[in-house]
Homo-oligomer: A and B are copies of this chain.
Amino acid sequence: MNAAAEPRPVPDDETAGGETTAADGRRRQARGRTTRRKLIGAAVESLAERGWHATTMLEVAERAGVSRGAAQHHFPTRESLVVAAVEQLGEEQITELRRRADELPPGRARTPAVAEMLLDLYTGVKFRAALDLWVAASHDAGLREVLVPLQARVGREAHRVAVELLGADETRPGVREAVQATLDLARGLGLANLLTDDAPRRAQIVRQWARMLDAAV
């Protein structure tokens, strides 16, 4: 990959010259948002498929079909790009959970359904992308510095949604920890699913976990 210095090209979505009208400005902003979204999507894809080491700005720009200059205009560093990617992954996860919350059955069937939702949470390509970043950050102080506060924020948000979904009363002793354990277990199951399809084993754990959670929450 050619990392040699080159004159910084004018970004694709910032080519307006001279006076601009309000409509021009809005169009430019919309193009900018589209470019950002493409870059974030390409970064997640590259992280999941090829890992942090291979996820260079050039690789991401090419996947996104965006010039390198435009990519660097939006994200001056790889770190700034992955921060945006992790934020988006976290938001998508929360949105998806809330969407599925509307489909949950009432009564006794609710806890097993929530357990399944939560314990399946980290079994996909997005978790693989995030995991790759975590591990890279364990060898890279710069990446760690941006990821740690982000991870804490995304984790708190996931916890809040899990409490809502379970209808759990966290003022009762042990309930908060049982919900936390559910999310930690979910990440452990995500790890177990990384190299092989662990779905059959996981389904049995989900059933048992739902019983234990029902008794605890």
Q: Which residues of A contact B (CB under 8 A)?
A: 49-51, 53-54, 128, 131-132, 134-139, 144, 147-148, 151, 174, 177-178, 180-181, 183-192, 194-196, 201, 204-205, 207-209, 211-212, 215-216
Q: Return the contact of A205 from the options B180, B195, B209 (Cβ within 8 A).
A: B180
Chain B neighbourhood of A183, CB < 8 A: 188
Beyond A49-B139, A51-B136, whether A208 also contacts B181 by CB under 8 A is: yes
Query: Does A147 lie within 8 Å of B195, measured CB to CB?
Result: yes
Copies in the complex: 2
Beyond A185-B184, A216-B212, whether A195 also contacts B144 by CB under 8 A is: yes
Beyond A212-B216, A216-B212, whether A191 also contacts B195 by CB under 8 A is: no
Chain A binding surface, main DSSP class: helix
Q: Shortest distance in angstroms between A183's beta carbon and chain B's nearest beta carbon?
A: 8
In the complex, residue of chain B having the shortest beta-carbon distance to the beta carbon of A144? B195
Chain B neighbourhood of A185, CB < 8 A: 181, 184-185, 188
Query: Does B151 lie within 8 Å of A195, measured CB to CB?
Result: yes
4 A-B pairs with least C-beta separation: A188-B188, A177-B208, A184-B188, A187-B188
Query: Does B201 lie within 8 Å of A134, measured CB to CB?
Result: no
In the complex, residue of chain B having the shortest beta-carbon distance to the beta carbon of A189? B184
- The complex places the Cα of A197 from the Cα of B215 at a distance, in Å, of 30
- The complex places the Cα of A51 from the Cα of B195 at a distance, in Å, of 18
